[in-house]
Amino acid sequence: MAKYQYETVEVTLENGIAWTLLNRPAKRNAMNPKLHFEMDELLGRMSTDPEVKVVVIGGKGGHFSAGMDLKEFFREQEGNPEAQRKSSEAGHRWRWERLSEYPKPTIAMVEGYCVGGGFTQMIGCDFAIAARNAKFALSEVNWGIIPGGLVAKIFADTVLPRHALYHACMGEVFDGVEAERIGLINKAVPAASLRKTVRELAQKLMLKSPNALRATKHAVRHVRSMSVPDAYSYLMAQYLVVGVGDTEDSYNSGIRQFLDEKSFKPAHGPFRLKGARAKTVKKTKPRTAARRK
């Protein structure tokens, strides 16, 4: 099993789930240059780690992220444009380029504060589950700037325009219930149920064909900015991509289990993966033998 040891990030591998927590609790997980470099390296490593099936992004100490560390990221780098460029590139790369195109499912687990730049990795993840009492805010307008980096773009792409304008221009704090209402997150749950809900979602994702899941999530993200003819051509190509290197032989396995074995219904869950099938056989044989006796 791979070991991931970093100063500003804590990683725990649990049955295929990589619980990846920003680890600057004293700063409410505000992001400094070191955190950006470590997260950029970490996500690159986990993308090819066979032990990692789903990546969960969260924060230590009860907060997702209070955005950028204003002192370390901005003020201390003012006279060093080279350092500023490198840390900005690393921050953009892991929070958007890596996460939005990640080959494995990703889930944002949001509790406490999610402010400003913290929106980038939250929206960059495929799914987002938040505590009902989580605190979201785009407060930049209140101290004289616009939301940094890609935040204004990706926030406006995620929610309806009126909601984007209101929250970006008002800079008010809103909770997880409001975040769910405007479509910023998938679901708001009681804080005590947050980790359990995220784990259940991750477990459901791991039952699906990795190739089909990867191609589907990339397709949904990409077609939003395409014309209908371009989207049609792209999606036809994605049908072929699903089968490349697919150890599950997903299409044929699904067809066989549905038509020949009649062992699953597509609208009620995924076909059985090889690993899942092996576990099922081990569990059912003793019970079958007992019934025969």
Q: Is residue 2 part of a domain?
A: no
Using CA atoms in the order 223, 101, 110, 128, what is the torsion angle rounded to 10 degrees? 30
Domain carrying residue 260? 210-292
Residues 116 and 180 in one domain: yes
**Does 244 reside within a domain?**
yes
Task: Give the chain's domain count.
Answer: 2
pLDDT of residue 267: 81
- What pLDDT, on a 0 to 100 scale, did the predictor assign at position 275? 66
- Smallest CA-to-CA distance from 56 within 90, 24, 10 is with 10
Q: Which of 206, 224, 259 is the last residue of a domain?
A: 206
Three-state DSSP state, 119: helix
Q: Which of 159, 181, 206 is the last residue of a domain?
A: 206
Q: Residue 4 falls within a domain, yes or no?
A: no
Same domain, 114 and 253: no
Q: Judge if 55 and 86 occupy the same domain.
A: yes
Say whether both 166 and 214 belong to one domain: no
Boundary of a domain, candidates 163, 184, 206: 206
Is 137 found in the same domain as 115? yes
pLDDT for res 276? 54
Q: Are 195 and 223 part of one and the same domain?
A: no
Residues 239 and 141 in one domain: no
169 shares a domain with 220? no
Phi then psi dihedrals of residue 148, to 5 deg: -80, 160
Same domain, 32 and 161: yes
- Residue type present at position 181: R
CB within 8 A of 126, min separation 6: which ones?
102, 105, 106, 107, 217
Supply the CATH number for residue 23's domain: 3.90.226.10
Instruction: Tell me the one-letter amino acid at 107.
Output: I
Give yes or no: residues 191 and 235 share one domain.
Answer: no
User: Which among 100, 118, 117, 101 is positioned nearest to 109, based on CA atoms?
Assistant: 118
SS3 28: coil
Return all residues near 164 (Cβ < 8 A) that are at least 6 apart.
152, 155, 156
- Whether residue 255 lies inside any domain: the answer is yes
229 lies in some domain: yes
The span from the CA of 125 to the CA of 210, in Å, is: 16
Residue 120: inside a domain:
yes
Check residue 2 and give its pLDDT: 59
Is the domain of 276 the same as that of 178? Answer: no
Q: Give the residue carrying structure tokens 């791979």.
A: 2
Show the tokens assigned to 88.
């900005």
pTM summary value: 0.89
- pLDDT of 270 reads 87
Closest CA to 18 of 72, 67, 58: 58
Q: Is residue 3 part of a domain?
A: no
On whether both 124 and 152 belong to a single domain, the answer is: yes
Low-confidence ranges of the chain (pLDDT < 70): 1-2, 275-293
In a domain, 79, yes or no: yes
Helix (H, G, I), strand (E, B) or coil at 275: helix
